[in-house]
Amino acid sequence: MTNKLLEIVDLEKRPSSQTEVAGPTGTRLMHKGVRQMLLYEALARARMREAEEAAARYRVARRLVAGRRWARLAKYATARAERARRAV
């Protein structure tokens, strides 16, 4: 009984900058600063993921443009070779 009362009193004395977090190893306290740091870390990961996705889209676009450029060059080279063949 006294343990329960002590737990209740301890909970009431807990500063508001702490939060209980349930994890795989049990419940623990998390300070506001730690929560904020984890939030910034999650935001940084999201920005990195978005940057990687944008880079992947850019690579695909560049490959398509390069493919078109090489196709035009091949068409030009074929036409030039044909002209040269006819000239002989």
Average of per-residue pLDDT across 41-54: 95
Q: CA-to-CA distance for 17 and 9, rounded, in angstroms?
A: 17
Question: What percentage of the chain reaches a pLDDT higher than 70?
Answer: 66
Q: Is the pTM of this model over 0.85?
A: no
Please, are residues 20 and 29 in contact by the beta-carbon 8 Å criterion? yes
pLDDT score recorded for residue 78: 97
The letter for the amino acid at 72 is R
pLDDT score recorded for residue 2: 53
Average of per-residue pLDDT across 69-88: 96
